[in-house]
Amino acid sequence: MFQNPFANPEFLWLLLVIPLLVAWQLFKQEKSLVPLKMPSTKGFNNSIYNRLKPMLFILRLLSISALIIGLARPQSSSENTKTETTKGIDIVMAIDVSSSMLAKDLSPNRLVALKEVASNFIKDRPNDRIGLVVYAGESYTKTPITSDKRLVLEALKEIKYGALTDGTAIGMGLATSVNRLKDSKALSKVIILLTDGVNNAGFIEPATAAELAVEYDIKTYTIGLGTNGNALSPIAYNPDGSFRYGMAEVQIDEALLEQIATLTGGKYFRATDNKKLEAIYNEINSLEKTEVATFKFYAYEEKFRPWAIAGLVFFLLEWALKNTLFKSFI
């Protein structure tokens, strides 16, 4: 927004007086000229005082101009912006790290594809607090909810298969996420739970965990990850400890995931490839809006003093010259 460099710009109209004063001065000079016949003008035309006498009028104009500009109060301004979150959201991302997340129906595999999309999601939520929960046959909190996005992103990079007993404990992952959010004071609390299988481990039923989410007013978005049909997945171990891959049927308990989402006021999504997974996180990003208020502050620095001082100096200089050097010529 353009800021006027003068606090009282209406005073600048007074500068129109300057050309009127010049015209009046010229008119007075012409009227005061009286033709004289003298044998010689030597000593008059060469007088330095005659040549410098117009300086008095120029000093007067400069004084008036500077004082008018001072009255207009020139000033410089700087804009400062302050952003405040008026509706913060606390989000926990519950990530399945079972061996099936190494399936290669997403490129390069499900877990790496998820981490890339989740990283962009975190970067797009600068005003929210985010935490990470990982689960397989059991679950634990990788990162509690925090506004330190650098910490969350570093923790996300560290997530890999093998840190937990294999299996898919959806109820445990959801319950741990609820536990992280139940004491949150945020106006909105959200869980994004992702899995690529069916609940086959853990001692907490998914339905029980969903009821806890409802009790603490926590919305849950669920995502089923995996292609339709068969996918190249880990099916056994090689002698060196690495996985042997083979085609395996993709089994996702979509009914359960949809039930959890519906019960908690969220939504169920199915991601069958990288693009759909990215689109799902983009949709969740658009559904969960953080209200941000932006306040602009303007700091002004007054610049009228130099003009006022200059006007006074020009006035005093004119007065001094008028009453000393040019006194006998006025």
Domain range list for the chain: 49-74+303-330, 87-293
Check residues 130 and 55 and name the one with the higher pLDDT.
Answer: 130
Q: What is the mean pLDDT of the chain?
A: 85
Task: Supply the pLDDT for residue 288.
Answer: 78
pLDDT of residue 280: 92
Q: Identify the sign of the CA torsion 19, 21, 22, 28.
A: positive
Tokens encoding 64: 């008036």
Pick from 174-178, 282-286, 314-318 the range whose average pLDDT is largest.
Answer: 174-178
How many other β-carbons are positioned within 10 Å of the β-carbon of residue 171?
24
Q: pLDDT class for 32, splitting at 50, 70, 90?
A: low
Q: Which of 53-62, 237-246, 248-257 is predicted most confidently?
A: 248-257
Tokens coding 104: 């290669």
Query: So what's the pLDDT on residue 134?
Result: 97
Of residues 264 and 311, the one with the higher pLDDT is 264
DSSP bridge partners of 133: 94, 141
Looking at residue 295, its pLDDT comes to 55
* Domain 87-293 CATH superfamily: von Willebrand factor, type A domain (3.40.50.410)
User: Mean pLDDT throughout 127-150?
Assistant: 93
SS3 78: strand
Q: Mean pLDDT over residues 72-83, rounded?
A: 72
Of the candidate ranges 53-62, 130-139, 203-212, the one whose mean pLDDT is the lowest? 53-62
pLDDT at 57 over 90: no
- pLDDT for the residue 309: 87
260 pLDDT tier (thresholds 50, 70, 90): very high
- Give per-residue burial for 303-321: e unless 16+ CB within 10 Å, then b: bbeebeebbeebbebbeeb
Residue closest to 63 by CA, chosen among 326, 309, 320: 309
Contact 273, 106 (CB under 8 A): yes
Q: How far is CA 9 from CA 115, 302, 305, 326, in A?
A: 58, 14, 16, 36
Separation of alpha carbons 94 and 140, rounded Å: 10
Give the predicted TM-score (pTM) of the model: 0.64
Residues 116-144 have a mean pLDDT of: 93
Of 148, 117, 143, the closest CA to residue 132 belongs to 143
Residue 76, SS3 per DSSP: strand
Half-sphere exposure of 323 (CA within 13 A, CB side): 6
Confidence of residue 304 (pLDDT cuts 50, 70, 90): confident
C-alpha distances in angstroms, 326 versus 47, 52, 94, 188, 318?
12, 9, 92, 82, 10
Instruction: Report residue 317's pLDDT band, with 50, 70 and 90 as the boundaries.
Output: confident
Reported as a pLDDT band with limits 50, 70 and 90, residue 87 is low
Give CA separation, 248 vs 200, 217, 244, in Å: 17, 38, 12
Q: Which residue has the higher pLDDT, 200 or 53?
A: 200
Q: Is the pLDDT of residue 301 over 60?
A: yes
Predicted confidence (pLDDT) at residue 49 exceeds the cutoff of 70: no
Q: What is the pLDDT of residue 40?
A: 54
Provide the CB-side half-sphere exposure for 293 (13 A, CA): 5
Find the farthest-apart pair of alpha carbons in the chain and give their distance in angstroms, rounded. Answer: 130
The reported pLDDT for the residue numbered 119 is 95
Q: Is 272 exposed, middle or buried (0-12, 13-18, 19+ CB in 10 A)?
A: middle
